[in-house]
Amino acid sequence: MTPLPLAVTTSTKTDAATVREARAVAQRWSLPFLSRRSSEGIAPWLGTKVEALLVVGGDGVTLWEPQGSFGFHAGMAHLRRMRLRQGQRDDAFLKVAEIVPGDAVLDCTLGLAQDALVASLAVGPTGRVVGLEKSLPLCIVAAEGLQRYDRGADSCAIEVLHADAHAYLKTLPSKSFDVVFFDPMFAKPKKAQPAFDVLRRFAEHAPLTPEAVEEGRRVARRWVVVKGARHTDDLKKVGIEPAPTSRFSDVIWGRLPALP
* Residue 2 lies inside a defined structural domain of this protein: no
> Are 103 and 190 in the same domain?
yes
What are the pLDDT digits (tens) for 214-258? Answer: 999 999 999 999 998 887 788 888 999 888 777 778 888 999 999
40, 66, 92 — which closes off a domain? Answer: 66
C-alpha separations of 183 from 27, 29, 134, 151, 252 in Å: 30, 25, 13, 22, 11
Least confident of 34-38, 48-52, 105-109: 34-38
Q: State the DSSP H helix or E strand holding residue 219, giving kind and residue range, or none if neither.
A: helix 210-219
Helices (H), 10-164: 16-28, 76-85, 92-97, 114-123, 136-148
Residue with the larger pLDDT of the pair 1 and 48: 48
**Portion of the chain with pLDDT greater than 70, in percent:** 95
Q: What is the pLDDT of residue 45?
A: 94
20, 40, 66 — which closes off a domain? Answer: 66
Q: For the chain, how are helix, strand and coil distributed in percent, rounded to 5?
A: 30, 25, 45
66, 87, 109 — which closes off a domain? Answer: 66
What are the pLDDT digits (tens) for 177-224? Answer: 999 999 986 444 555 455 567 777 777 768 899 999 999 999 999 999
Residue 34 belongs to what domain range? 7-66
Contact 93, 225 (CB under 8 A): yes
Distance CA(150)–CA(152), nearest Å, equals 6
> Are 164 and 191 in the same domain?
yes
